[in-house]
Amino acid sequence: MSVRIRLSRIGKKHVPFYRVISVDKRKKRDGAFLEDLGTYDAIKSTIVRFDEEGYKRRLEQGAVPSDAVKKIYMLFKTGATKKAEKLAKMATPKKAAPKEPEVSKEAPKEAPQKKSTEPAES
């Protein structure tokens, strides 16, 4: 049985979220798997969880990782998950406190008087 380490999609439409799994090469992408090795959030480009011991154990047993899993492992080794989380926090704009309307310190001006339509007496 040839074993591969690859991604299995578990996210919704337009929200890609993947599980890193070890699986028989002949199985479907989202079919039954042998072992769950981690999860990866593709939108934020962060590794949520990664089992390095399980990954190394499967490699020793002869499993072949896919190109995407190799890239995710390199992200994990370089510690890019922590950097990506910091960047994501910095990228989110902070909401400013609502400003109160400015109140002028001058006395309020009187409203202009209406002109009368009656003729003036002389």
Region 80-105: mean pLDDT is 61
Per-residue pLDDT tens over the stretch 8-51:
888 888 988 898 989 888 887 777 888 889 998 888 888 888 88
Note the pLDDT of residue 44: 85
> For residue 21, is it within any domain?
yes
What is the SS3 assignment for 52? helix
Q: What is the residue-wise DSSP string for 54-117?
A: HHHHHHHTT-EE-HHHHHHHHHHHHTHHHHHHHHHHHHSPPPPPPPPPP--SSPPPPPPPPPP-
Domain count, the chain: 1
Q: Is residue 14 part of a domain?
A: yes
Q: Is 118 part of any domain?
A: no
User: Considering only 2-16, 45-59, 61-75, 84-98, which range has the smallest mean pLDDT?
Assistant: 84-98
- In this predicted structure, what is the pLDDT of residue 30? 75
Token pair of 23 as six digits: 């699986």
For residue 65, what are the domain limits?
Answer: 3-91
Residue predicted with more confidence, 88 or 52: 52
Q: Which residue has the tokens 């202009």?
A: 112
CATH number for 77: 3.30.1320.10
